[in-house]
Structure 1
Amino acid sequence: MEKLFRLKENGTSVRKEVVAGITTFLTMAYIVFVNPSILINVIPGANPGTDLYSQFFGAFMVATILGSVTATLVMGLIANYPFALAPGMGLNAYFTYTVCLKMGVDWKVALAAVFVEGLIFILLTVSGARSFVVKAIPASVKLATGAGIGLFIAFIGLKSAGIVTSDPATFVALGNLADPNVIVAIIGFFIIAVLFSLSVPGAILIGILASTFIGALPVFKITSFQGIIGKVPDISATFMKMNLNFQSLATGTFWMIVFTFFFVDFFDTLGTLTGLAESAGFMKNGDLPRASRAYLADAIGTSVGAMFGTSTVTTYIESSAGIAEGGRTGLTSVVVAILMLCMLFFSPLAMTIPSAATAPALIFVGVLMIKTLKKINWDDITEAVPAFITLIMMPMTYSIANGIALGIVTYPVVKLFSGKGRDVHWFTWLLAILFVLYLILLRE
């Protein structure tokens, strides 16, 4: 195990890696249930309570698990990083509500588009083109990405707990602080913060478990025991159902879908990996060692996931919870993959942990990830402005990709009109132009 993961070299231990893997798993296990609940909408007539609904929901659930397990194992065993992967939130919504429901594309054709996108990713990764693009991203945007993801993940946690709610007049507002979910989440957050300040190992995991227990108390009643073992659903309804016939491949619409999946996935993954790597201290001179192997994980996961029957697989920002617990090697990812695979058999037990118990972990991780901002040269306004735009637009637009896009568009413009145009890499200009076209013409 030492030879495979180089634990001593990375200043970690088996115990730390296992705790980190469990923590990451608990913060992202929701996708096993959320992803099928989104994808099921592409099946006509699959209404709750019907056999068709049960058949496809179960199949999408298994596809979600297997796609996640495949990609996460590649990340852990080949790239040796503590990053977990699963079908991306936002990408699954685009797959369902834009491609299938709005554009009227059959879900089998949409899966084919995801599969092709993954193959393109694999080719770009193996050729080294993907690493070239990463190196062309401005340093200030890379640093702001980590902090932006921290704000984004904290916002997800606040929203999940009900601490922040929507408001028709102000868009967001403070939630009901007397709500049991809010109270449990707040208590959980302080438990994690205090334990972490006291250097208690497994502080985040203890906070999640403590919040789950507190939620079961009669005064709150938000934790509901769902059982332990359930039957493994049948995946045959979605397995290898991609429609790759010539008629579909010959249409411009198909390739536009492929491009959009590719575009969003590329920069979501870029932003997430950069942010996670910055927070964990993996970056060396602005680059991520073994970057191609890490990118290969989500590329393979995307194509394999499409074969099982799920939308694009990508690196999860929730991996930051495990990193905060000390996860530094691929052993963390292997633990996540094993636990995710167990969800096939223990899904009722996993459903016992309420969102109010995992939300505090996400909020606290936001605190830890914001520290990358100190490395930005805020005295240079041509670096500060793009960094700020990247930082603020991720949570404000609920998208990592949008934050990166707007940050990269801002960077060359500010540099040019400040007399520092020569500092801009030619490929950054190209990316900025492509991002403008994407944001105006392609983004739904």
Structure 2
Amino acid sequence: MLEKIFKLKAKNTTVRTEIIAGITTFLAMAYILGVNPAILSETGMDKHSVFIATALSAGIASIIMGVVANYPVALAPGMGVNALFTYTVCLTLGYSWQAALAAVFVSGLIFIFISVTGIRKMIINSIPSQLKLAIGAGIGFFIAFVGLKNAGIIVASSSTAVALGNLKDPAVLLAIAGILITLVLLIKKVPAAVFIGMIITAIIGIVLHLAGGFAGMPTLPDKVVEFNFSIHTLGAFMDGFGELFAEPLSACMVIFSFLFVDFFDTAGTLVAVANRIGLVNEKGQLENVERALVADAVGTVAGAALGTSTVTSFVESTSGVEVGGKTGLTACTTGIMFFISMIFSPLILSTVTSAVTTPALVVVGILMAQQLKGIDWDDLVFASCGFVTILTMILTYSIANGIAFGFFAYVIAMLAAGKAKQISPIILGLLVVFILYFAI
């Protein structure tokens, strides 16, 4: 049955490899189970309900992606867009969380429409192949930066924006040790090096905590399981439509914002994963991408119905890909792990800390950065737009912003090179969309 659904032999993979890859992806994403409820609860939402909605929506969407699209891409409520939901839509614009969920639901329905009609596929395939490589490499740098920041290796600075963290902090040292251990395993070509590196890091952290009581370390919980599946946010979006559309222009702005961020975050993730596993054909087009896009859109609708912000394809899926994941069985495994997490939440939330996930994110970032070799750096058109894409993605802490500014640089460079006729009309249309988004 698994061979028929996921075509394992054709993809030159095995059930064991796919399951390990799925677990690795889950461990790299597990932080969302703690972070998303913390952010959304600031709007007044019940924290436990958001936790259950996060796990359920991630599990459902990941399995849909695996079965329908056969992509090793897992989904969950996205970072960045949950901040947009809480701090902009609710706390700044004054919408209730029910109205914000209604906006997410509508954006998901629009996503389904433009995915089924092929509009999303057409847009993604219009991105020049070398810009796709830059997006993939940029995401590698981005997730490595996310890992370093979460672990405290890189910290904010009022004078220099960012600075080196406190190297005397045991949690910081654990993360650095984890990176080095994972790198050694990878260089030694140990199978599932990223996954094994995370496990070793977690064990070291637990031992250090038990021995010295160091803060910020993985710990053993007081209880391993908890059977509480109450979810008070289910269907709450229905109560928000009246408030949302009381001011139609403002409602359109909110919905468009959710659309924009999710669209290009998803596009960047799918491009990065497809490049790594050979799903990009000679024309630079992603194979079977329309099904992946529909699965992503359905995940957003399901998430809003359950009671969480936009569900999107997670760039941490690349950690599973680097372990060997090539099919939808990886995504399905991750989805099942999210379902299981609802029972083992005390264990997961106590052992999967930033120090444990950072080694995976940094090492995967190194591997993804290898895509830079495919860019023609002697061609200033692609050198400039690639450089701008990567730099903006990191410094603005946004995949979507990186792609947008990469497009700006691409169009300007093509015009300067006298190649205006080679610019796709779709690219020009997107340029207008980017301008409108930033203007709004």
TM-score range, shorter chain: over 0.9
Task: Measure the CA separation in 2 of the matches of 1:202 and 1:40.
Answer: 36
1:223 corresponds to 2:218: yes
Question: Are the equivalent residues in 2 in contact too, given 1:122–1:296 (CA < 8 A)?
Answer: yes
Deviations, residues 85-109 of structure 1 (Å, cap 9, x unaligned): 0000000000000000100011111
TM-score computed with the length of structure 2 as normaliser:
0.95
Q: In structure 2, give the amino acid aligned to 1:97.
A: Y
> Of 227, 231, 234, which aligns to 1:235?
231
- SS of the residue corresponding to residue 207 of structure 1 reads helix
Question: Are the equivalent residues in 2 in contact too, given 1:269–1:315 (CA < 8 A)?
Answer: yes
Unmatched 5+ stretches in structure 2: none
Question: Are the equivalent residues in 1 in contact too, given 2:6–2:327 (CA < 8 A)?
Answer: yes
Partner of 1:383: 382
Partner of 1:365: 364
Partner of 2:55: 65
Partner of 1:311: 309
Deviation at 1:77, TM superposition (A): 0.4
Deviation at 1:135, TM superposition (A): 1.9
Unmatched 5+ stretches in structure 1: 47-55
Deviations, residues 180-235 of structure 1 (Å, cap 9, x unaligned): 11111111111111111122112111111111111122257322111310132410
1:255 corresponds to 2:252: yes
Task: Measure the CA separation in 1 of the matches of 2:294 and 2:233.
Answer: 28
1:111 corresponds to 2:101: yes
Task: Measure the CA separation in 1 of the matches of 2:315 and 2:427.
Answer: 25
Percentage identity across paired residues of the two chains: 47
Question: Are the equivalent residues in 1 in contact too, given 2:125–2:286 (CA < 8 A)?
Answer: no
Deviations, residues 4-31 of structure 1 (Å, cap 9, x unaligned): 1111110110110011011000010110
Partner of 1:13: 14
> Of 268, 290, 293, which aligns to 1:292?
290
RMSD: 1.4
Residues 334-373 of structure 1 mapped to structure 2, 5 A cutoff = 334-351=332-349, 352-373=351-372
- SS of the residue corresponding to residue 191 of structure 2 reads coil
Deviation at 1:237, TM superposition (A): 3.9
Q: In structure 1, give the amino acid aligned to 2:303.
A: G
Question: Are the equivalent residues in 2 in contact too, given 1:75–1:83 (CA < 8 A)?
Answer: yes
Q: In structure 2, give the amino acid aligned to 1:81.
A: Y
Question: Are the equivalent residues in 2 in contact too, given 1:115–1:302 (CA < 8 A)?
Answer: yes
Question: Are the equivalent residues in 1 in contact too, given 2:31–2:353 (CA < 8 A)?
Answer: no
Deviations, residues 402-428 of structure 1 (Å, cap 9, x unaligned): 000000011111111221112211121
In structure 2, relative to structure 1, the CA distance for the partners of 1:220 and 1:138 (3 Å cut) is farther
Deviations, residues 123-167 of structure 1 (Å, cap 9, x unaligned): 111111111111222222211000000000000111111111111
Task: Measure the CA separation in 1 of the matches of 2:354 and 2:241.
Answer: 42
Partner of 2:152: 162
Deviation at 1:306, TM superposition (A): 0.3
Question: Are the equivalent residues in 2 in contact too, given 1:64–1:86 (CA < 8 A)?
Answer: yes
- SS of the residue corresponding to residue 304 of structure 2 reads helix
Question: Are the equivalent residues in 1 in contact too, given 2:6–2:328 (CA < 8 A)?
Answer: yes
Task: Measure the CA separation in 1 of the matches of 2:278 and 2:154.
Answer: 31
- SS of the residue corresponding to residue 312 of structure 2 reads strand
Deviation at 1:246, TM superposition (A): 5.1
Deviation at 1:35, TM superposition (A): 0.3
Question: Are the equivalent residues in 1 in contact too, given 2:148–2:154 (CA < 8 A)?
Answer: yes
